[in-house]
Amino acid sequence: MNATLRDVAFARSGDKGDTANIGVIALTEAVYPYLIEQITSDTVKQYFAAVCHGRVERFELPNLFALNFLLHESLGGGGTVSLMLDAQGKTFAAGILGLEIDVPESVLEECRRVTAGEIPGRASGAAGD
């Protein structure tokens, strides 16, 4: 493992009842296949074992170079029932960015350049069209 998800992706999370959703978005088109390969339902279930008591589902969004995870039974009952500080899973998006991932150096370098603002990122111009 030569990188964390934070180097190659960003994310947003939310809630629906006791289920948390985490959308993970690749910084570049080139890194997306590595997310599909390595950030699996099992990886995510294991990583969030402390809060996730149900199954993890994964959906692919190839047009958006994104993955959507549903973490069932992960919010202490959800809504106002939950006693958790983060009862809506708002910070799970940041949390998932600590996952480790292995990507080729050239792919990682392109991600670094996107983060640094040197190149615009994957859906600019006609990309993604």
- Residue ranges that bind another protein, judged by CB under 8 A: 10-17, 20-21, 23, 25, 47-52, 57, 59-64, 66, 68, 70-71, 74, 76-81, 83-86, 89, 91-98, 115, 117, 120-129
Minimum gap (Å) between residue 102 Cβ and another protein: 20
Complex with another protein: residue 81 or 100, whichever CB lies closer: 81
Closest to 74 measured CA to CA, from 94, 53, 49: 53
Residue 58 CA: distances (Å) to CA of 22, 23, 43, 117: 10, 10, 11, 30
Complex with another protein: residue 66 or 103, whichever CB lies closer: 66
Closest to 43 measured CA to CA, from 102, 108, 87: 102
- What is the phi-psi region of residue 74: left when phi exceeds 0, alpha when psi lies from -120 to 50, beta otherwise? alpha
Minimum gap (Å) between residue 26 Cβ and another protein: 10
CB atoms within 10 A of CB 85: 7
Complex with another protein: residue 41 or 86, whichever CB lies closer: 86
Minimum gap (Å) between residue 30 Cβ and another protein: 15
How far does Cα 111 stand from its chain's mean position?
Answer: 15
Complex with another protein: residue 38 or 68, whichever CB lies closer: 68
